[in-house]
Structure 1
Amino acid sequence: MELDYKKIQTERLPTLYEVLIQKTKFPVDLWSFYTFLSQFPYAINYLDFWIDLMAHLRLCKDYISGIRESITYNQNEARNSRIRHHLQYTSEESIQHETQSIQHHDDPEGGDEDDDDDDNISVTTSVLLNALLDEGHLDFENPERVSQFLQGNTEYSPKLSQLLEDWKRHSIANNDSNRKGSLNRNNSNVRSRETNGAALPDVVDDILRKQSQQEERAKITTKQLLNNALKICSIYLQSPERSERYLTNLPDDIRLKALNLVQNERRHDPQVFEELKSIAFQFLEMDCFPKFLSTVALHNIHDEISDWRFHSNARSHNLTRVDKSLIKNHDHISKSPFSTYTLLSRTIFGLLWLGIGFWIGYTLIFLKYDRGIRVVTIVPFAIGNYFIICGMYRVDIIYSWFGVTQRLLYKHNEKNRDADREVQMDEKNGKNHHVSGILALLGGRSRLIRIEHPFIKNILMKRGLWCLFLVLLSTGIFTVIFSCVPGYRI
């Protein structure tokens, strides 16, 4: 499967989904897409929203995986218990019989009843979890069933409803038998009422909590899922006054519906954000991704993008600690004009060399030098046409031959301790893709990086050959004109 995917990448450009799930390589990787959108504040909010939704979905999957692990744990514990019981029964049957008789004589209503209660609650828990697995509530291939489970909706399943009632009854009985005294009985009654009114996710949370205490390993609960869903609503859906990352141009009915489901109905299942996720994906796919591909896949020289986070007129109280630190250090700005304004600088530099070529050509013509000497104009004409055509097509011929391209944003020279994972990833990529200094002429070495996507490398190679043809053609035309015209001494 991996070989087929690599073969496909040599035949076509990547899709948006492949970029979002980090299947692609530079210059069409997720970090490059994120960097490209950073010049559009409203667009990058949609990408952040989609990423946070995917993180919430992974959190839900981890929660379901924890339940499945709990089922495996209970099954292993039950199997080990039966084995230990069988070995103990066969090897020490007579001693065990005498001991049980003495214990029964001393406390006829004590130990056996407690053991039976523990066994009952353990068996009921195992049966309940197994029923969730059998009916597909723990299978993310069936998202509708998973959402029904996370909502605590058991009315459609009589079996689950009955098992849930059995678990509550055994749990209440076990709590009552383990507590003595009037005060303890009052506490037990309170807990019994809480247990009796608990929904299915709450019951599963209680099971996972007890098991995590035994295993000494924390597990995700529905409370964490709800808090994460509330956080997403607070950042992206409530109001632009509360968050700089508020999503604009969303349909109000869909936005208010999601807010009501999370804040009022306390839902946190993935289907709550399904419509919003589709809207965000469609916006990124139809409006943003084509512009991104046309920029990075067809060109290997770029003007440094204007990141809105670094503007001096940005509202400082809404900036993150990362953005404030970057503004303070000014590491996002290259000091080289050939790096910051690549296209304009190349065009001006090319026109300058063309002017030099015209000056030399006219001087040699009006001084009536031989045609063989006037051929020297090929040098300034070649240099001038090279930079002008490369600036016009935004394709550097030498870069295309060596398979390198310019970053969209200047690479930070020093690692910022407060920088987030994206900045660190950008620096890491720069260290892993060292580019020779000779290729950094008129481009800024800190912005060069190797192209890893094979199809894009082939596209840029072909465009580089076309640009080379135009350079040779225009250079030949200018050189022939200035070499072949008759000389005239003024």
Structure 2
Amino acid sequence: MVPNKMEPDFEKIQTERLPTLYEVLVQKTRAPVDLWSFYTFLSQFPYAINYLDFWMDLMTHLRLCKDYVDGIRESLVVNNERQGNSSLLNNEHAQQVEADADDSASVRTSVLLNALLEEGHFDLTNPAGVSQLLQGQVNHSPKLAQLIDDWNRHSQNVDDSNRNRSSNNNSNSNNNNLSSILDDILKRQSQLEEKPKVTTKQLLNSALKICSLYLLSPEQSERYLTNIPDEVRLKAVNLIQRNSRHDPEVFDELKSVSYQFLEIDCFPKFLSTVALHNIHDEISDWRFHAHSTGGNRNKSQASLTEKDLESMRHISKSPFSTYTTLSRIMFGLLWLGVGFWIGYTLIFLKYDRGIRVVTIVPFCIGSYFVVCGLYQVDILYSWFGITQRLLYKDRKVTEDGYDGNVPVDVKESKDKIPFIFGILGGRNRLIEVKHPFIRKFLFQRGLWCCLLVLISTGVFTVVFSCVPGHRV
């Protein structure tokens, strides 16, 4: 009942304030302050985008850790159910011996997992206990130590009976570690359920990948994190590479530093761009060139036709889309020049004041575009709840009807954009503003810009209409 009760509260809050960074990162917000918009905004800053990439990869790693613990808890539930049903199975004597062996292993597994559960090592609200579990360095109570020894002896006896050869040393070295024991339990459970489980090997590989991608050095790491204190970075590298650590505690300091950087240096700039303005100059698409060519690995670069390269474009052909602000100002100045030319012509030809009022048309159009360009707020866009995306998109939709690089919300909102709004700015860049507070805020800024347009239009029209005419 709690999530259902809090959901309306969150929707109400979104009508009263701008979103927080955390809400964007957990994908609670909608366009134009969604995670995809934040990512495309940071893509114009090569070093800043690396922090967001690191954060998302780290969150993926933490989810793997959670899935690992959940897998162990599921194994505990399954083993308890097998114990409850063991008396109803295998009535034949030929199968009873094998059933007894399986039941014995199941009992040992359940007892061991229950002991770990009682000591709080499966409690996700206790990060220290979970980290100890992932490290395999649990502070053993006498009861838990005895259970682990029993498991080791049982596993060693099973290995000896199955293989009929001496492998005591290898077995002891592998099974004395709690992580190896839990991996063994998960492996057996995976075979029974025919469903893959996350293992410590996968967690370690994930941690090593993060380390090699972000933390080693500018030469070795493709997305090296700059401005990270060396002691913090080297500490994490040593724990991962030398101590084979992969628990969440390894990344705590890096997580804090990266979040502070995104929250203090990046997020305010993002909000000032998308929340205060609804027209944006198109950002650089350098980040996406590699992804575009990477999706065509079956084609060599030489075999790509001009049509293929065109379909991977991120730059619009329209100057009104690529240089939205400058093009509007220049277009507006052009119309103001037309208004001045008509006004002076009518004055020096000594036309009546009633005829000179026609200058209101070019002055209005010119004022509209100049004001919109200077404030980066299109009045009509703001009134109809429309804004420009930061990046042009002209990719062809895949066969299944979905382009993986574009959120579904963006695709759906594009169908709601009237064609007339695509005249300036490119229709492929227009999306619906779905955040209620930003929609209301942009509407208010649109009213202010409209007032400025009316004032400037009125001033120019009155001046050129009321001055005395003089025929040259």
TM-score by length of 2: 0.90
Q: SS at the partner of 1:380?
A: helix
- The reply on whether 1:6 has 2:11 as its aligned counterpart is yes
Deviates more, 1:476-485 or 1:27-36: 476-485
- Paired residue for 2:414? 433
Question: 2:308, 2:268 → 1: CA distance?
Answer: 30
Question: 2:404, 2:22 → 1: CA distance?
Answer: 19
Change (3 A) 1:440 1:392: same
Where in structure 2 are the equivalents of 1:28-107 lying within 5 Å? 28-84=33-89
Q: SS at the partner of 1:334?
A: coil
Partner amino acid, structure 2, of 1:429: V
Question: 2:272, 2:82 → 1: CA distance?
Answer: 58
Question: 1:413, 1:139 → 2: CA distance?
Answer: 45
Question: 2:358, 2:227 → 1: CA distance?
Answer: 60
Where in structure 2 are the equivalents of 1:49-448 lying within 5 Å? 49-84=54-89, 118-155=102-139, 157-176=141-160, 178-179=161-162, 184-187=164-167, 189-195=168-174, 197-309=175-287, 321-322=294-295, 328-329=309-310, 331-415=313-397, 423-425=405-407, 429-434=410-415, 435-448=417-430
* Alpha-carbon displacement from aligned partner over 1:37-59 (angstroms, at most 9, x marks no partner): 00001000000000000000000
* Alpha-carbon displacement from aligned partner over 1:403-450 (angstroms, at most 9, x marks no partner): 000110001241379xx9762437x62344321111112111111111
TM-score by length of 1: 0.87
Question: 1:61, 1:320 → 2: CA distance?
Answer: 34
Question: 2:169, 2:426 → 1: CA distance?
Answer: 70
* Alpha-carbon displacement from aligned partner over 1:168-204 (angstroms, at most 9, x marks no partner): 122223444x34xxx71324x3554345x53111101
- The reply on whether 1:476 has 2:449 as its aligned counterpart is no
Contact 1:117/1:170 (CA < 8 Å) preserved in 2? no
Q: SS at the partner of 1:186?
A: coil
- Paired residue for 1:106? none
* Alpha-carbon displacement from aligned partner over 1:69-93 (angstroms, at most 9, x marks no partner): 10110011111113458xx6xxxxx
Partner amino acid, structure 1, of 2:166: N
Deviates more, 1:224-233 or 1:433-442: 433-442
- Paired residue for 1:91? none
Partner amino acid, structure 2, of 1:430: K
Change (3 A) 1:310 1:192: closer
Contact 2:79/2:107 (CA < 8 Å) preserved in 1? no
Q: Measure how far apart 1:327 and its partner are.
A: 10
Change (3 A) 1:67 1:20: same
Q: Measure how far apart 1:230 and its partner are.
A: 0.4
Contact 1:31/1:422 (CA < 8 Å) preserved in 2? no
Question: 2:430, 2:329 → 1: CA distance?
Answer: 20
- Paired residue for 1:454? 436
- Paired residue for 1:20? 25
Q: SS at the partner of 1:452?
A: coil
Question: 2:427, 2:104 → 1: CA distance?
Answer: 70
Change (3 A) 1:116 1:447: closer
Q: Measure how far apart 1:210 and its partner are.
A: 1.2
Contact 1:451/1:457 (CA < 8 Å) preserved in 2? yes
Contact 1:154/1:161 (CA < 8 Å) preserved in 2? no
Deviates more, 1:364-373 or 1:455-464: 364-373
Q: Measure how far apart 1:134 and its partner are.
A: 1.7
Partner amino acid, structure 1, of 2:20: T
Answer with 1 or 2: which has the greater Rg.
Answer: 1
Change (3 A) 1:146 1:362: same
* Alpha-carbon displacement from aligned partner over 1:341-399 (angstroms, at most 9, x marks no partner): 01101001100111111111111111111111111111110000000000000000000
Contact 1:40/1:308 (CA < 8 Å) preserved in 2? no
Contact 2:413/2:431 (CA < 8 Å) preserved in 1? no
Q: Measure how far apart 1:156 and its partner are.
A: 5.0
Question: 1:413, 1:122 → 2: CA distance?
Answer: 54
Partner amino acid, structure 1, of 2:7: E
Please list every run of 5 or more consecutive structure 2 residues that lacks an aligned counterpart in the other structure. Answer: 1-5
Contact 2:285/2:315 (CA < 8 Å) preserved in 1? no
Q: SS at the partner of 2:166?
A: helix
Question: 2:171, 2:440 → 1: CA distance?
Answer: 69
What RMSD in Å do the two structures reach over aligned CA positions? Answer: 2.6
Q: Percent identity?
A: 64
Change (3 A) 1:207 1:51: same
Report how many residues are paired: 455
* Alpha-carbon displacement from aligned partner over 1:10-67 (angstroms, at most 9, x marks no partner): 1110000100010000000000000000000100000000000000000011111111
Contact 1:121/1:174 (CA < 8 Å) preserved in 2? no
Change (3 A) 1:310 1:203: closer
Q: SS at the partner of 2:431?
A: strand
- Paired residue for 1:93? none
Question: 2:329, 2:346 → 1: CA distance?
Answer: 26
